[in-house]
Amino acid sequence: MMAVTSDFPGARLCHTIERHVTASSLMAYPIEIRRPERAGSVERTVTCGFCGDEVTLIVYGTARTSALRRRWLTLASLGGVLATLGVLGMVHPMGDISAGSPLLGALVLVTGTGVVLALSFLRLWFHEDGVRHPAPDRWEAPRHSVRLSRGLNR
């Protein structure tokens, strides 16, 4: 698990240049907001380097960011345990689990749910950097987003 030790977040403020069905073009800019010492959060307005719009961001302290990462990892682990129990229930001979059996359907449902939960929470754990951007209008494509810098221009 990556520890949060940096004074500044590793996430970038991204501006969507083009949006297509299969891909989007982004420009990424560093977020120059210092994290609070331990707890709490800081709300600051930064200027987009592409369009000049002001964007309000919330940056959490190292303790809160670490707690959020632990929460996502714990929930992903619980999803993994659920998936494992479903698979073990299918391979363990505990009764009639032939095709069409309600028990088999329930075990497949438990396994699928566990896999989906584990993957969803692992994704949140991987991308957690303690930076929040207020949600854009639901019906409008967002121009600004916060993303980790892996694979983005620096």
Q: What is the DSSP string of 43-74?
A: EEEEE-TTT--EEEEEEE-HHHHHHHHHHHHH
* pLDDT at position 3 over 60: no
- Shortest CA distance to 9 belongs to which of 52, 46, 51, 49? 46
The answer to the question of residue 6 being in a domain is no
120 in the same domain as 73: yes
153 has pLDDT over 50: no
Q: What is the pLDDT of residues 16-74, one digit of tens each?
A: 888 777 777 888 888 899 998 777 899 999 999 889 889 999 999 989 999 999 999 99
> Is residue 2 domain-resident?
no
Domain count along the chain = 2
- Same-domain status, 69 and 118: yes
Residue 57 bridge partners (DSSP): 44
- 72-101 average pLDDT score: 86
Same domain, 49 and 30: yes
In a domain, 116, yes or no: yes
Tokens of 49: 């380097």
Same domain flag for 54 and 70: no
Expressed as residue numbers, the domain containing 113 is 65-125
Q: What is the pLDDT of residues 112-139, one digit of tens each?
A: 999 999 999 999 999 899 999 876 666 6
Query: 76 and 91 in one domain?
Result: yes
d(CA 88, CA 84) in angstroms, rounded, equals 6
